[in-house]
Amino acid sequence: MADLRQIDTTKPIPRHVAVIMDGNGRWARSHRLQSRVKGHEAGAESVRAALRACEQTGIHYLTLYAFSTENWRRPADEVQGLMKLLRGFLRDNLAELQEKGIRLRAIGRLDMLPAETRAVLDECIAQTRTNEARQLILALSYGARQELADAVRAIAGEVQRGTLTPAQIDEATIAAHLYAPDVPDPDLMIRTSGELRISNFLLWQLSYAELYVTPVLWPDFREPDLYDALVAFQNRARRFGDI
């Protein structure tokens, strides 16, 4: 496993890393825990580890896929457990986010979140709004197809009002109507627990991201696992269609 020294300071590191935090349920089962929520709880320390690794390496934007639009299909007790965990995580970590100058943001259909969860989230977003050191972006009730549908609806509204013509619509128009339009596209996308799929995450933004999948389950993910991903990233040749 890589340590910090194996990251080549002469080569670029990603400005934005996006993570599909997967495998909490399998981790709970492998530890013979009766509830999948125990796996989600254990994953909170991995979030803190990922933040520490970003601090150590200078990654500015970290986007974490915490809850998908499709995850609403899960049993009510698991969904409630996840929402409670999110509130607890935000309350427990707000002071540290402030201290480290981390701005918290969220992308997704936030109106679908329970009122209490939404209130805590909004409060943390408001309190950290002017922080500039780094950004932690939580994808919550997030689906990339929904994000694109929301963008298309907003663009159609502008066309209807006559402030935009169809001929003016280009890639920049679409990018400007996504949930966090000022955030640069991820350079590196990490998925834990071995699944080789995107699961409706950042479909537009991941167009040219380097993909890294590790068998490590999210609750076991620590700084060296992120450094492994960075070493792999530094050994990739990003061509962007060029030669």
Q: Does 199 bind ligand IPE (CB under 6 A)?
A: yes
- Interface residue list for Mg ion (CB under 5 A): 22
Residue whose pair of structure tokens reads 């997030």 in the numeric block? 142
User: At its nearest, how many Å lie between ligand IPE and the CB of residue 105?
Assistant: 16
Considering only 51, 54, 63, 68, the residue that binds ligand IPE (CB under 6 A) is: 68
* In 33-191, alpha helices (H): 36-57, 76-100, 115-127, 144-161, 171-176
In total, the chain counts a number of residues equal to 243
Q: Does 117 bind ligand IPE (CB under 6 A)?
A: no
With CB cut-offs between 5 and 8 Å by kind, which of Mg ion, ligand IPE, none does residue 197 bind? Answer: ligand IPE
- How many of the other CB atoms lie within 10 Å of CB of 230? 24
**Angstrom distance (rounded) from CA 195 to CA 16:** 21
Q: Which is nearer to ligand IPE, 71 or 80 (CB)?
A: 71
**Angstrom distance (rounded) from CA 134 to CA 106:** 14
User: At its nearest, how many Å lie between ligand IPE and the CB of residue 152?
Assistant: 23
Question: Residue 195 gets which letter from DSSP?
Answer: -
Task: Respond yes or no: is residue 22 known to be catalytic.
Answer: yes
Q: Which helix (H) or strand (E) holds 214?
A: strand 210-214
Q: Which helix (H) or strand (E) holds 102?
A: strand 102-107
* In 128-205, alpha helices (H): 144-161, 171-176
Tokens describing residue 130:
């002017």
Q: Does 80 bind ligand IPE (CB under 6 A)?
A: no
Q: Which is nearer to Mg ion, 22 or 225 (CB)?
A: 22
User: At its nearest, how many Å lie between Mg ion and the CB of residue 234?
Assistant: 28
User: At its nearest, how many Å lie between Mg ion and the CB of residue 66?
Assistant: 12
Task: Respond yes or no: is residue 111 known to be catalytic.
Answer: no
Q: Which is nearer to Mg ion, 128 or 141 (CB)?
A: 141
Q: Does 67 bind ligand IPE (CB under 6 A)?
A: yes
Q: Where along the sequence are the contacts to ligand IPE (CB under 6 A)?
A: 20-26, 36, 65-68, 71, 82, 193, 195, 197, 199
